[in-house]
Structure 1
């Protein structure tokens, strides 16, 4: 039964995305970024509501949500953590894979809210292009979200933190807010089943500008991994509390 509920949830999630995009994207084009952000946040809240209603997956945002122009460095375990984070931020935008920018519906609104596509296969050239675009986008303000590991990482797995987050922190000279999550326990990567429970994302205390890149990278990795492990242990995966944040 949970599998069937999950399937219904997933189908309506993408169906609503398509309908909202077709019907409301013209308003985003006319009204600009603020209208696009409002539409995207409405969609995210809808998914959070239907997740609770259809599959018993409750969601919670902890910590102080930043409302100024900051860099948000988040753990990434599933599509759901993106939705929860965006529903909480007043004016968010993402560093995202370039491929996603060309997707129907999702790519349209990614462009409208000011997301920055990155070609991950280009190495140093991609980082330079990202920094240039982020610096230019700073004029429009908002919360720029980056996933420092560069991809989804399943609970219990480890992947290195990439220097792109540190380069943004150094270039933009702005505070950075780490975000811990446990969402992957309930919304597994490459799976249909959505599990009931409490999915949490937690905004941690801001790291003020001024640290060296190496020190900053060590700080966000320690904070994000330590707190994410605690959230996952709280949700019933105690083994992650014993993991070394450094991998």
Structure 2
């Protein structure tokens, strides 16, 4: 019975989340059309709405630990859930994500993502896209901010292992900026698929920043070790039970 009630609450929460998206998009549209700050404000407002409703509708409390960057930086994060996207974005002043180019054609999401400076990339052309972004920021054509990349390349269920992609190290080298690793356990409470949302405390943790100047191998080894170690600790804290190997 308890599971059934939580499932219904989860369904209602999911519906409210999808209904709210076009409402926020329409309300902020006049400002967003003329200024990227309007699009940024809309995305922040929507992220805060989802985080707030997740708390009282399905019992998922959100906690951000560590010190998020406020200036230009690279954010290399663990990705388990749509929730960790929202929590990271809400914690930084001007987050922009590396995203698949096809997402530009997604209604609402694609248009607002482009306006806030997200980087659409095609396979094999990330380097050119990042170089253009850095040039545009330097010229003042685009707002500076925090570029978020998911180092394993995709969203993974808690406990699933996958190597960290060298693209993050190439990006770190190309940008020559401080990198902020981010660990999470959000997938325990908000899984990749399905309706059900589990009550608990979802955490994203900004770890000790990695300064620029390391070699690719040194950077990638440090990033993977620190993020995976911290994420495993957060999973244990959440009471996650790993499957027997």
**What interval of TM-score do these two structures reach, taking the shorter chain for normalisation?**
over 0.9
User: Which stretches in structure 2 are left out of the alignment for 5+ residues?
Assistant: none
Runs of 4+ in 1 over 3 A off after TM superposition: none
State the match for 1:27 in structure 2: 31
RMSD value over aligned CA atoms?
1.7
Aligned length in residues: 237
Q: 1-side partners of 2:22 and 2:219: how far apart?
A: 39
Q: Match of 1:151, SS? A: coil
Q: Match of 2:201, SS? A: strand
Q: 1-side partners of 2:132 and 2:12: how far apart?
A: 38
**Superposed displacement of residue 11, structure 1:** 0.7
Q: Would the alpha carbon gap of residues 78 and 8 (structure 1) be closer, same or farther in structure 2, given more than 3 Å must change?
A: same
**Superposed displacement of residue 38, structure 1:** 1.6
State the match for 2:104 in structure 1: 101
**Superposed displacement of residue 238, structure 1:** 5.7
Superposed CA deviations along residues 126-166 of structure 1, whole A, max 9, x for unmatched, are 23233323423443311000001110011011112111111
**Are 2:117 and 1:118 equivalent residues in the alignment?**
no
> After superposition, where does 1:135-154 map in structure 2 within 5 Å?
135-139=134-138, 140-154=143-157
State the match for 1:127 in structure 2: 126
Q: 2-side partners of 1:49 and 1:167: how far apart?
A: 36
Q: Is the 1:114–1:137 Cα contact (8 Å) retained in structure 2?
A: no
Q: Among 8, 11, 25, which residue is 2:12 paired with?
A: 8
Superposed CA deviations along residues 190-247 of structure 1, whole A, max 9, x for unmatched, are 111011000000001110000011111111111111100100110002649xx9xxxx
Q: Match of 1:200, SS? A: strand
TM-score, normalising length: structure 2: 0.92
> After superposition, where does 1:35-114 map in structure 2 within 5 Å?
35-114=38-117
TM-score, normalising length: structure 1: 0.91
**Superposed displacement of residue 78, structure 1:** 0.8
Q: 1-side partners of 2:104 and 2:126: how far apart?
A: 17
Q: 2-side partners of 1:137 and 1:9: how far apart?
A: 39
